[in-house]
Amino acid sequence: MTLVEKALEKADLKALVALYETSKAIFSYIKIEDLLPTLISLSVKLLKSEDISIMLKDINGELRSAATFGLDNESDKTMRLRLAQKFIKNTKGRSDVSFITGPTEHDTEFSDIINAKHIKSAIICPLLSRSRSLGVLCAARTNSEIPFSSADQRYADIFASQISQALDNARLFADIENKVSALNEAYGKLSEIHKELIQSEKLAAVGQLSAGVAHELNNPLTVVIGLAELLLEDAGESAEKRADLESIKKQAERCRGIILNLLQFAQKNETDKKPVQINSLLEKTIELWSYNTQNSKITIVKDFGQNLPLTAVTQFQIQQVFINIMNNAHFALIDISNPELKIRTFYEDNKIKISFSDNGSGIPENIVGKIFDPFFTTKKVGKGAGLGLSITYGIIKEHNGDIKVESKEKEGSTFIVELPVANPA
């Protein structure tokens, strides 16, 4: 075997190794950003080029430089891109491979490309997938006097086919990934809608129950309270008898309070909503609430945003929302050293937001999703009916708003009320 034959055999072997590595790359990388650097590296090894360009079509069908090697100068990159654009225009989607041997001014096909004279030899291959043009592979020699051979053309043709398959796989994977992401996003939205529907059904069910039961219980309770008051007037000085009657009256009034809550929960209030400045309404509510809890030693920190837009609300309902949330904070701050409730208002995402953050006991993770359920409470028997946050949820939804909670056990809770901006008159 002659030296020339041995050299050719060695070159063929190297080319086959490079082609084999390309095949492995096709199945090793499924993301195009990981695939392109490997394809560039293999192109250099296989085609022994001073520079390599892989140019791909964007969603508008325009050719763009996707990856390069040996092209640090932007004008050189632009010139390679123009070569590729001229190539695609001339071949019109065919599988032709173009050769450039010597300066482009001697090549009728590319002689009008400016600044391409330094190219001594080049191969330009189409990247096709099912006869659809993906882009172009351009390999150029600018220093070597040895032109590309017919063997190089054969390797480049095979290599371009492998690149096309690899890119097709990567794009298919990207499409699947995008669809999965879109499906996950849609599922997330459906899940939220489903939760809201369940919550609405629970509220509707309690509303129906309330409407029927409340009126039936309210009348006899009114009689019990009235008789207890009459008996108290006739009880004389008997401390034991007065204590029993006071207890009857107190518990009956508590029952009536629960029934009134149920009625309020069940009935949609038709009171007109009026534009208010939320900071002003909060100040009044805090003053009212803090009077009832003046012995709690809770520090209230106010961080109110300035120049907030108005929001249209039924004032007493929104005040009830604030009081319900603050009452829950008060309960969570019992036995906490340095109890603090921070109330913040701000404007974000075209909504007015009010956050109530306490440093209390927090809510266990397994029950956070239940706190707006009717009759759900973590308080001891007799301390709460579990309607406060359900009523709060219903009022906020009637105002086309939202309420969210963020909490960690033993670290505190934050309730965030969102209200829409009032439409300008």
- 140 CB neighbour count, 10 Å cutoff: 27
Same-domain pairing of 291 and 174 = no
Task: Note the pLDDT of residue 255.
Answer: 79
Number of separate domains in the chain: 2
Same-domain pairing of 308 and 173 = no
pLDDT at 346 over 80: yes
Whether residue 240 lies inside any domain: the answer is no
Instruction: Give me the domain span that covers residue 144.
Output: 15-179
Q: What is the mean pLDDT of residues 290-304?
A: 79
pLDDT at 321 over 60: yes
Same-domain pairing of 22 and 143 = yes
Among residues 179, 197, 228, the one where a domain terminates is 179
Same-domain pairing of 274 and 129 = no
Whether residue 199 lies inside any domain: the answer is no
43-52, 54-63, 92-101, 264-273 — which is least confidently predicted?
Answer: 264-273
Among residues 160, 179, 198, the one where a domain terminates is 179
Task: Note the pLDDT of residue 381.
Answer: 41
Whether residue 90 lies inside any domain: the answer is yes
What are residue 124's DSSP bridge partners?
98, 138
Same-domain pairing of 175 and 42 = yes
Amino acid at 174: A
Whether residue 35 lies inside any domain: the answer is yes
Task: Note the pLDDT of residue 142.
Answer: 81
What is the arrangement of strands in the sheet containing 340-348, beginning at the earlier edge strand? 299-304, 340-348, 351-358, 412-420, 402-408
Whether residue 159 lies inside any domain: the answer is yes
Same-domain pairing of 318 and 423 = yes
pLDDT digits (tens, 9 = 90+) for 194-203: 565 555 555 5
Same-domain pairing of 157 and 291 = no
Same-domain pairing of 283 and 140 = no
224 touches 248 (CB < 8 A): yes
Q: What is the mean pLDDT of residues 356-360?
A: 93
pLDDT digits (tens, 9 = 90+) for 121-140: 888 888 888 767 888 888 88
- 192 vs 354 pLDDT, higher one: 354
pLDDT at 74 over 80: yes
**Residue 280: pLDDT band by 50, 70, 90 thresholds?**
very high
**Residue 421: pLDDT band by 50, 70, 90 thresholds?**
very high
pLDDT at 51 over 60: yes
- 15 vs 357 pLDDT, higher one: 357
Same-domain pairing of 273 and 175 = no
365 touches 322 (CB < 8 A): no
- 340 vs 252 pLDDT, higher one: 340
CATH number at residue 27: 3.30.450.40
Same-domain pairing of 150 and 276 = no
Task: Note the pLDDT of residue 125.
Answer: 85
Task: Of 21-25, 88-92, 245-249, 403-407, give the range with the top mean pLDDT.
Answer: 403-407
- 45 CB neighbour count, 10 Å cutoff: 15
Which pair of tokens denotes residue 253? 């009034």
Q: What is the mean pLDDT of residues 240-244?
A: 81
b/e sequence 310-322, b meaning 16+ C-beta within 10 Å: ebbbbeebbbbbb
Computed over every residue of the chain, the mean pLDDT equals: 77
Q: What is the mean pLDDT of residues 293-300?
A: 78
CA distances, 198 to each of 22, 191, 193, 194 (Å): 54, 10, 9, 6
pLDDT at 409 over 80: yes
Whether residue 395 lies inside any domain: the answer is yes
Task: Note the pLDDT of residue 383.
Answer: 47
11-25, 88-102, 301-315, 388-402 — which is least confidently predicted?
Answer: 11-25
Whether residue 122 lies inside any domain: the answer is yes
pLDDT digits (tens, 9 = 90+) for 359-393: 988 888 777 767 776 555 555 444 444 456 777 88
- 84 vs 29 pLDDT, higher one: 84
Among residues 158, 179, 200, the one where a domain terminates is 179
The label of the residue with tokens 């029950």 reads: 367
pTM above threshold 0.85 = no
Task: Note the pLDDT of residue 208.
Answer: 58
Same-domain pairing of 32 and 172 = yes
Distance CA 358, CA 372 (A): 18
The label of the residue with tokens 């629960």 reads: 258
Same-domain pairing of 313 and 166 = no
CATH number at residue 336: 3.30.565.10
Whether residue 392 lies inside any domain: the answer is yes
Task: Note the pLDDT of residue 275.
Answer: 92
